[in-house]
Copies of this chain bind each other. A is one copy, B any other.
Amino acid sequence: MTLRNAVMATLLEGEASGYDLAKGFNASVANFWTATPQQLYRELDRMEREGLVTARVVRQDRRPDKRLFSLTDAGHDALRAHLAAPITRPTAIRDGLLVKVQCADIADPTPVQADITAHMDWSRDKLARYERLRERLLAGRTEDEFLAGADRVGPYLTLLRGIAFEEENLRWGELALRVLAARSS
């Protein structure tokens, strides 16, 4: 029931196809709400049936048709109702890497180190994309100018959280690699 809200939050940026949402979920919302393509297509269908979004089919030349979804007034209302609702539950994280690190001591750490390295690569990629998005949002303004004057600050605030998260992943990854290397030598 909350994937809906994440989808509607994304559609505030403008219309999007299921496919658009699927790959990157607009790159910014994906940072705090993940979903598979099937989940999104299914949810968009339901939301259309309930009148929260409308679809318009766009015929394309050298590509399959696509259905671009946008928020209806009812969708806007539903989002506002969600915002007004009292409390959101605590963050749910599921991080398989940390599960591995938690028990890294019971076996050869080499594969865990490889895993940490792979995750750090992903973090670097994400950071690069986030920084590009940030430049685009700022559009030449300083952060203070932007925060004081922009129409919408929500996407920027969540972006900052995402950047901090990935930066912390990198810092922690370096520490973890250092510690595991020192012990296995």
The stretch that binds B, out of A14-22, A59-67, A87-95, A134-142, is A87-95
* Closest chain B CB from A72 CB (angstroms): 14
Q: Are B96 and A94 in contact (CB-based, < 8 A)?
A: no
Interface size on A, residues (CB 8 A): 72
Copies in the complex: 2
How distant is the Cα of A165 from the Cα of B95 in the complex, in angstroms? 13
Residue A9 lies at the interface, judged by CB distance under 8 Å to chain B: yes
Minimum CB distance partner of A8 in chain B: B103
A105 to B155, CA, bound (A): 9
A182 at the interface (CB under 8 A from B): yes
Nearest-CB distance from A95 to chain B (Å)? 4
CB distance from A1 to the nearest CB of B (A): 10
Bound complex: CA A181 to CA B44 (Å): 34
Given contacts A84-B111, A164-B168, 12 further A-B contacts (CB under 8 A): A12-B106, A29-B99, A29-B102, A33-B93, A83-B112, A84-B108, A86-B111, A90-B119, A105-B152, A157-B179, A160-B175, A164-B171
